[in-house]
Structure 1
């Protein structure tokens, strides 16, 4: 049986990725590995932080039954593929929702998902991401817990005097951790209180919680350890680096992968033939930047025979991304 991630060594030489590969070494299917990450990785936010007022959901430790189920699913993932391939989407958030939906369906916890609330035919008030059975209640079937689900990737661009949630910005600069959590806490988790919601609810909502997974990425001058507790970010969160392509210290002794968006969840595992040398990586990313100015996710890999395993990951950003990110952060500071 895999060793719990929290029980694995935490020495600096042991990254989250290396721990994940050891824990889930038997898994080969990419979707099953993504599901294992979603269920088992640390949450992005600290559920105990006062900032969140007890409104952060946690999936809890996987049971032996869950682990056995994931291992069996890896050998026969047909049902998972049927759900993933139904109404295909290139959106990572939609992909993660499908993975979680599958797990909740299989474990009998799901009441409903993507339940829209309307106040008339042309007036959509909001949507419940997930309604799940309240396992904290003596009668788990007596009420529903509303989970607002998000899988997010944010890069920290900040000076120490601007260490706030809005300093974590999305790769496309259209989102920030602060803005996302404000929307979840102040709007989306309040949906069940709207007068129009009751008619759409199969059971009364007893609690409304945010379930947030993802990765945070840090520039070369900022360490995750320096984050103030007031931010409410989990100390165990998954993390990586970001830098301009010109600042990346590549080596032809190492192998790299460029990760498509739908492969951003779990640490990468690929055949050696899919990896790139340092020179090939630079050329590939330069070509991608000519097509789009979006940051590119890469994995730095260890080789085990003919298999490449992600050791660490990061975003390579265009040369002007840093200044644009700083402007966005400064704008958020001015708005406060």
Structure 2
């Protein structure tokens, strides 16, 4: 089964998800207003991208060439590659990535994406993030209650760093020195572009597949479930009633899955559960799992549920 870190096998689908799937943050929330990308901007870019995406689906070579120039096994880096490709094509302008910000010879930050809005003449500064967080408090849903699959970061702390530090780099002389000369004297617009999803304890998820999201999170953001592998877990997991299952490597987390009817990676539930149990016992790591149902006469399997299977000891460390 394919689960080792490797380049995504579905770059067009991932790009489509980046453009067309909902944003993680609610830009109308006062904490993010004017600093997260606006719904109006995002919708306009989506509309501009429809025909271009269809053409790229027929001829994906430009996208493949772009990605092959800087291959990476990091999801965040891959996400930035896709965003830069999209922005450069939609704005028809060059895009600068990973501009280090230095002070007294040491790096104090980095500008994720810089570009130019051809229509307004404004310089564009984007700070990007794609993150997945699991709810840890059963009786409430606040930003601080969601931690990463490895329990090494927390949603509220990530957003605090994003909005209080990263997006403010261009308010400093050090940040401005990192800007290419052709953009340095233009008015800047700095925005956060955040995607990802939230995952809830499986029993709560089964009660309501539309659980409450924290204030500041888009109500349309992708949601899923999580479950520790314990002696009682198989009975709870079987209530999901998917016909086939597969694991999803990290660089393929972005997009919804469709598989051919004879895909050898798809396993029946009992065999898949045992495989995951052994893998977690050996590797002690979270696994993102995808459940499929038949798409009827098409002969395809389509994703109907996704969630994390976790070691019984998760979370090992709670971030502070």
Scaled to the shorter chain, the TM-score interval is 0.7 to 0.9
Tell me what 1:106 maps to.
89
Aligned-pair distance for 1:124? 1.0
Aligned-pair distance for 1:109? 5.1
- Distance (Å, rounded) in 1 between the aligned partners of 2:249 and 2:195: 18
- Distance (Å, rounded) in 2 between the aligned partners of 1:199 and 1:104: 23
Tell me what 1:291 maps to.
282
Which stretches in structure 2 are left out of the alignment for 5+ residues?
1-8
Matches within 5 A, 1:195-274: 195-202=173-180, 203=183, 204=186, 206-219=188-201, 220-221=203-204, 224-228=210-214, 231-245=215-229, 246=233, 247-249=236-238, 254-272=243-261, 273=263, 274=265
Runs of 4+ in structure 1 over 4 Å off: 61-65, 250-253
- Distance (Å, rounded) in 2 between the aligned partners of 1:298 and 1:253: 11
Please, what TM-score do these two structures have when normalized by structure 2?
A: 0.83
Classify the secondary structure of the residue corresponding to 1:155: strand
Classify the secondary structure of the residue corresponding to 2:31: helix
Aligned length: 291
In the alignment, is the contact (CA less than 8 A) between 2:281 and 2:311 conserved in 1?
Answer: no
- Distance (Å, rounded) in 2 between the aligned partners of 1:76 and 1:227: 38
Query: Bigger shift: 109-118 or 146-155?
Result: 109-118
Classify the secondary structure of the residue corresponding to 1:221: helix
Tell me what 2:66 maps to.
83
Summarize deviations over 1:278-310 as a string: whole Å, max 9, x none. Answer: 012112212321332111111111223432211
Matches within 5 A, 1:1-336: 30-58=10-38, 59-62=42-45, 65-107=48-90, 108=92, 110-120=94-104, 122-134=105-117, 140-141=120-121, 143-160=122-139, 163-202=141-180, 203=183, 204=186, 206-219=188-201, 220-221=203-204, 224-228=210-214, 231-245=215-229, 246=233, 247-249=236-238, 254-272=243-261, 273=263, 274-304=265-295, 305-321=298-314, 324=316, 328=318, 332=320
Summarize deviations over 1:118-172 as a string: whole Å, max 9, x none. Answer: 224x41121111123347xxx622x3121110011111111335x3212110000
